[in-house]
Amino acid sequence: MNMILVFLSVLSFLISLTRAYFAGDLFYIYHFCNNTVNFTRNSTYQSNLNLLLSTLRSNATHGSSDKFSEGFYNATASQDPDKVYGLFLCRGDVSAETCKDCVNFATSDITQRCPLQKETVIWYDHCLLRYSGISFFSTMDTKPAKAWQNRQNSTGGLFNQQVRNLMNEAVNQALNTTKMFGTVKKNYTASQTLYGLVQCTPDLSRHDCSTCLRLAISSFDECFSINIGGRMMYPSCNFRYELYPFYDDPSIVTPPPVFLSPPSPGSVTSSKGKGRKAIWIAIGTTIPTICLFILLVSVVRHRRRRNKGLALEATRHFSDENKLGEGGFGPVYKGILAGGKEIAVKRLSGSSGQGLQEFKNEVTLIAKLQHKNLVRLLGCCLDGNELLLIYEYMPNKSLDVFIFDSTRRAQLDWKRRISIINGIARGLLYLHEDSRLKVFHRDLKASNVLLDHEMNPKISDFGMARIFGGNQNESNTSKVVGTYGYMAPEYALGGVISVKSDVFSFGVLLLEIISGKKNSGFYLSEHGQSLLAYTWKLWCNGEALELMDPVLKQSCMAAELLKCIHIGLLCVQEDPADRPNMSSVAVMLASDTVSLPQPTQPAFSVGRIIARSGQSSSSYSKICSVNEVTLSDVSPR
């Protein structure tokens, strides 16, 4: 029975991974970067562009009653001369979820493909995204153009005429809809059906839409006259035809189940014969299912043993000399695979208080989330009570190893620290707004930020993370988890969880990175108050630069440091409504011209517990930990 339960659990997980894979399989088609019009890094234009892309992502995620219902949204950011114009258009037949996934991916992908170009456009199978420093709204644009064709030749003139007729009918249909989107299918032969699709951006006039589509179709004779499928893409319109269904056609249904024909009037079938026939039918359908089940169980068991075996060999049977540290999940070990690849293995501790649910939570989340500022999962193992997570190895361990160490913090100059701050912000922004799932981390802290060989930050430990629905921004929980010193007051005291809870944690972490001091232990120092209270006092007295870690004096720019302190104080304000969201934080960090609001007084004392003199950190955490809220210092990975 246990084996069956494990199998069903793993099978469910594998199915979810498969769905995630196919849902994320956004087919890239083409992109254009205008290299004659560029901007400089960290300029006002780039800040405005970041704000615009965040706006497009937000409207793809949350929707808009006037635009998103049509799978289309356009927006601007800032004022001339650095104003940015942008839009997205989703294919008229795709779901809101697919549209959201495509737009979210496109806003990240285009900045990688066209990092400094002011004018860009990118096409995918499900959407297009476009932005420019010059207004193009409600304007018909036929450049740049991209043509694609099927390599297989058509049968000649009759086929070509059929396509022309099909596309003309689709254009007429599109012009009679608010979406400016039309699909038509026609029988080509007794066994073949011809499918066509046309679409314009809905901000065009009907006249311009008609002109754009007919110009695209007129290129048919030049580009597609001897091919059985093809498409033409302009920034303002596109068309496509194929001899197979390439769009969501509600009239295409799955074939009905096949039933056995009843016996002919002349035949004689006894009830016993019918019963025997039914038995053989049942056996014929059941045996393959059983065989598949056994096969999958064998695969799962093989993979499970293989992963465990690899972990055991790589870590020398979890030897103490390979131990990197101890986290809330359990001990973490360094391993080296046969090919020389380094890995980190987290092993569930029986006394950790965490179990299968937290394990599955972390595996499921990290498998679905892919971002350069999130740690990457390489494998996992479930074998009885043995639960293992296998990650990419982070040679520079975790952030707390550097910023809270009197010697190592000198390795983090201001340029490196601001890079780490920006990376953490981008990772959180992805979790909150840009990923397929809306995720609240709930345990963001210095020890949960790992550093790769180039000191790039990667957020880790998703065992306590919470997934929210597309439009859900807040929830209550009776089970408070996380780490005192980083928890927002409304969460620690009232169990109210929201994106603003993670923002609070980010603000605490930001001030820790600047000062090199722990918020949770700062009140034990000579200042006699929390890090947040001390920062607020310095800010109000005009002495905020006193917060700076002394090792930064040679590398720090005063104006940039003051801006970061300002942002940190905005993030830790007591009222969640006053805190910015992560998209705003990212823009504020990237821009030197954005006007920042004045912060209000932060929450000073959330979960403050003072350890007895001489008490070790490990015993301290055991005495003071409640409701799975940890006070322990997690050692490096």
Parse the chain into domains and list their residue ranges: 27-132, 146-242, 306-392, 405-609
CA neighbours closer than 13 Å in the CB half-sphere of residue 591: 20
pLDDT at 22 over 90: no
More confident residue, 308 or 535: 535
**Which residues have a Cβ under 8 Å from the Cβ of 419 and sit 6 or more positions away?**
455, 456
pLDDT at 308 over 80: no
pLDDT at 332 (0 to 100): 85
Model confidence at 266, pLDDT cuts 50, 70, 90, reads very low
pLDDT at 262 over 50: no
According to CATH, what is the number of the domain 306-392? 3.30.200.20
Mean pLDDT of 488-502: 87
pLDDT at 595 over 70: yes
Closest by CA to 131, choosing from 57, 27, 239, 212, is: 57
115 cis-preceded (ω within 30 degrees of 0): no
- Lowest pLDDT segment from 75-84, 457-466, 601-610: 601-610
The tokens describing 611, both together, are: 């350890």
Average pLDDT over the chain, rounded to an integer: 77
H or E element at residue 344: strand 342-347
Please say whether the beta carbons of 85 and 135 come within 8 A.
yes
According to CATH, what is the number of the domain 27-132? 3.30.430.20
Closest by CA to 364, choosing from 13, 43, 90, 98, is: 13
pLDDT at 272 (0 to 100): 41
pLDDT at 390 (0 to 100): 85
Mean pLDDT of 75-80: 87
pLDDT at 356 (0 to 100): 63
More confident residue, 456 or 605: 456
According to CATH, what is the number of the domain 405-609? 1.10.510.10
More confident residue, 507 or 440: 507
Give residue-wise pLDDT tens across range 134-189. Answer: 999 999 999 999 888 776 776 666 788 888 889 999 999 999 998 999 999 998 88
So which residues are the catalytic ones?
A: 443
- Lowest pLDDT segment from 434-448, 547-561, 616-630: 616-630
Domain 146-242: which topology?
Answer: Killer Toxin P4; Chain A (3.30.430)
pLDDT at 208 (0 to 100): 95
pLDDT at 610 (0 to 100): 32
Give residue-wise pLDDT tens across range 465-484. Answer: 887 755 555 555 656 777 87
**Domain 27-132 identical in fold to domain 146-242:** yes
Question: Alpha-carbon distance 43 to 408, whole Å?
Answer: 33
Give residue-wise pLDDT tens across range 399-418. Answer: 999 999 989 999 999 999 99
pLDDT at 474 (0 to 100): 55
Question: Alpha-carbon distance 605 to 609, whole Å?
Answer: 10
- Lowest pLDDT segment from 110-119, 223-232, 366-375, 391-400: 223-232
pLDDT at 614 (0 to 100): 34
Model confidence at 224, pLDDT cuts 50, 70, 90, reads low
Mean pLDDT of 356-380: 77
- Burial state string for 418-435 with b = 16 or more CB within 10 A and e = fewer than 16: bbbbbbbbbbbbbbbbbb
Question: Alpha-carbon distance 382 to 357, whole Å?
Answer: 12
pLDDT at 524 (0 to 100): 46
pLDDT at 382 over 80: no
Angle formed at CA 207 by CA 201 and CA 210, multiple of 5 degrees: 65
Which pTM value belongs to this model?
0.51
Question: Cβ-count burial of 542 within 10 angstroms (0-12 exposed, 13-18 middle, 19+ buried)?
Answer: exposed
Model confidence at 541, pLDDT cuts 50, 70, 90, reads very high
Give residue-wise pLDDT tens across range 53-64. Answer: 999 988 886 654
